[in-house]
């Protein structure tokens, strides 16, 4: 498809520049956000539209919920009020894990969540959130925007009438909250843990029991003992959820989610009904929101971690090397098996792995080498 769009402000155009081509090309642009700020007044004489965005996140939840709000706000501002987006938290319009179908069926025009929640729709979807021991946030964005990832994502969502966009990234997550110590692989046996996606399958192979829960159900489940452990995101979100009140041990690193991409997917018919400039605004607003969320997590996580450790006396621990090595070995098997389930998953897997190897080779002498030198 040809490049769509114009954004009158030259600085914004320069910043957003290349994203429309990749999104339009694969017919996959998307992203939504907010109702917290007053909507801009529409240009005189312009037709106005209001879209609905449903999310998997609790309303206004820091980072993730506010990321959806930010996207909606961007769309309203960049369109001059011609397109506004009303954001609904999990359960307000539809339950958290029903947003995929809601947008596919046209109940809402946009959905904000994480692609690994939809593995029941397509095995390949999981690759677009996070792969255990896979790509970091920076690497995920590179693969999506410059390594054919967005085109593949569009191909995965096309049968469902959806256009995907990347709408945020948490960076490397934490390993999770545990009500017992993990000193060896044997301690994973029988462990009931909230952990979605490919990471959940890895835990299962290691002897644990993965549980899928939306964010709003995590704290009561951990506090009541319905689960023994949970991963959520990282210090910024975990502090806001008060998870330190329900579990004592806080483990790192987040082997299961080294750079989790959040998504905004759009109903394809609704997207195609937009004029070209609004299509470009929607896709480029998503790209701005995507980068902004990663920057926010980088800025806020360490202060939140200090608060957890120094004020709330959380027991911060690194997973033993033996445990990480075992999880890595299982992860390689699980990811390869997921890729073998259908031709599209294989296609996505091969692209992902090729890009991972390329990024690793470069980062060994750039990011990693510099970090080691700085330390």
Q: What is the CATH number of domain 10-168+260-297?
A: 3.40.190.170
Q: Which two three-digit tokens encode residue 301? A: 């996580």
Taking residues 91-115, report their average pLDDT: 97
Q: How far is CA 19 from CA 58, 67, 262, in A?
A: 29, 19, 17
pLDDT band, very low/low/confident/very high, at 8 (cuts 50, 70, 90): very low
State the pLDDT at residue 17.
Answer: 38
Q: Write down the domain spans for the chain.
A: 10-168+260-297, 176-258+303-338
- The CATH class given to the 176-258+303-338 domain equals alpha beta
- Mind listing the pLDDT tens digit for each residue in 21-39? 333 444 433 333 334 444 5
Please tell me the predicted confidence (pLDDT) of residue 215: 85
The CA-based diameter of the chain, rounded to the nearest angstrom, is 68
User: What average pLDDT does range 351-374 have in this prediction?
Assistant: 97
Q: Which residues touch 304 (CB under 8 Å, ≥6 apart)?
A: 234, 235, 236, 238, 239
d(CA 249, CA 176): 8
**pLDDT at residue 104 greater than cutoff 50:** yes
With DSSP H G I counted as helix, E B as strand and the rest as coil, what are the percentages for the chain, rounded to 5?
Answer: 50, 15, 35
- 301-352 per-position pLDDT tens digit: 999 999 999 999 999 999 999 999 999 999 999 999 999 999 999 999 999 9
């Amino acid at each position: 498809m040809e490049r769509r769009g114009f954004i009158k402000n030259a600085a914004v155009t320069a910043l957003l520049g290349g994203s429309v081509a990749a999104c339009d090309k694969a017919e996959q642009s998307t992203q939504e956000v907010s109702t917290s700020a007053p909507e801009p007044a529409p240009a005189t004489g312009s037709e106005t539209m209001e879209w609905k965005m449903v999310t998997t996140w609790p309303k206004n939840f820091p980072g993730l919920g506010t990321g959806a709000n930010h996207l909606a706000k961007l769309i309203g501002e960049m369109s001059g009020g011609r397109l506004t987006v009303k954001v609904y938290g999990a359960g307000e319009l539809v339950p958290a894990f029903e947003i995929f179908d809601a947008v596919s069926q046209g109940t809402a025009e946009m959905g904000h969540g994480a692609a690994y929640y939809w593995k029941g729709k397509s095995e390949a979807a999981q690759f677009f959130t996070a792969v255990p021991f896979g790509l970091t946030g920076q690497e995920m964005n590179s693969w999506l925007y410059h390594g054919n990832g967005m085109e593949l994502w569009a191909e995965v969502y096309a049968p469902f009438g959806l256009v995907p966009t990347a709408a945020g990234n948490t960076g490397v997550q934490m390993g999770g909250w545990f009500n017992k110590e993990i000193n060896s692989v044997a301690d994973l046996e029988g462990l009931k843990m909230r952990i979605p996606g490919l990471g959940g399958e890895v835990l299962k192979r290691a002897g644990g029991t993965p549980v899928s829960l939306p964010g709003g159900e995590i704290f009561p489940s951990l506090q009541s003992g319905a689960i023994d452990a949970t991963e959520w995101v990282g210090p910024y979100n975990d502090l806001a959820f008060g998870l330190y009140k329900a579990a004592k041990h806080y483990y790192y690193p987040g082997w299961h989610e080294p750079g989790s991409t959040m998504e905004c997917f759009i109903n394809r018919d609704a997207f195609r009904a937009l004029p070209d400039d609004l299509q470009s605004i929607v896709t480029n607003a998503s790209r701005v929101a995507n980068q902004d969320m990663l920057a926010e997590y980088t800025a806020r996580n360490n202060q939140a971690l200090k608060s957890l450790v120094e004020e709330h006396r959380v027991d911060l621990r690194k997973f033993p090397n033996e445990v990480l090595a075992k999880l890595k070995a299982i992860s390689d098997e699980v990811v390869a098996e997921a890729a073998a389930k259908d031709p599209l998953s294989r296609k996505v897997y091969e692209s992902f792995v090729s890009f991972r190897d390329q990024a690793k080779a470069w980062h060994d002498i750039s990011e990693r080498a510099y970090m080691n030198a700085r330390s």
